[in-house]
Amino acid sequence: MARLAHRLAPLLYLQRDEWFPLERAVAVVHPTRPIIGYHLLWRDDVHGAWIPFTVPTDEEIVWVGHDPSGAPTDIWTYWHGKILHADWRGRGTPAVDVQWGKHGLLPRGIIESDLPRFQTLNSFYAFHQLGVIDILLGRITRPGPSGFFHSYRRYRDFTRLMRSGEALDVVVRSADPTAILAAVFGTPYSEKPPWP
């Protein structure tokens, strides 16, 4: 199962100006379902860093479904409170695009107009332009970018490749990974849904 988790680990296509590094990565193999959850812990989130008692981390998740032969069949990603899905049969190595500063995950090749209303890349780009004060306030308490001062085209430029399989800290088998994630990520952490 550890070999399968490494083989199916998604390629992460980061926006080329991404500031925050990936700190930890945990693969959770479900014991009874053909699915593996990849929990990614980024150093921080671009928004809200100035709010007292915020934890300087950002957890995101991509789940990869597979068939009995170990070939990928589905990808689900956590996108700002919503779970997105893409059929991945015959598409090769699972791959996702990683949003600048917020680290929301998009199945690579998703049609942007299919994203939930007010959670499109257009909306987030506009919010970043309006939220520069929030970003600058965050720099008072923690290091980070001053904002995103490039075009919308560049905001959608997911060209920096990272192989999440090379970053895996732990591979575990569990239906409820809460205790394991707390041990690896520390507490508190986001505790997003463990499975789609």
Q: Over 80: is that where the pLDDT of 24 sits?
A: yes
Q: Which domain holds residue 110?
A: 2-185
Q: With respect to residue 191, please indicate whether it lies within any of the assigned structural domains.
A: no
Residues with Cβ < 8 Å from 178, sequence gap 6 or more? Answer: 191, 194
pLDDT of residue 140: 84
| pLDDT cut 70: percent of the chain above it | 100
Q: Identify which of 110-119, 121-130, 134-143, 152-161 has the greatest average pLDDT.
A: 152-161
Give pLDDT tens digits for 69-105: 999 999 999 999 999 999 999 999 999 999 999 999 9
Q: With respect to residue 85, please indicate whether it lies within any of the assigned structural domains.
A: yes
Q: With respect to residue 192, please indicate whether it lies within any of the assigned structural domains.
A: no
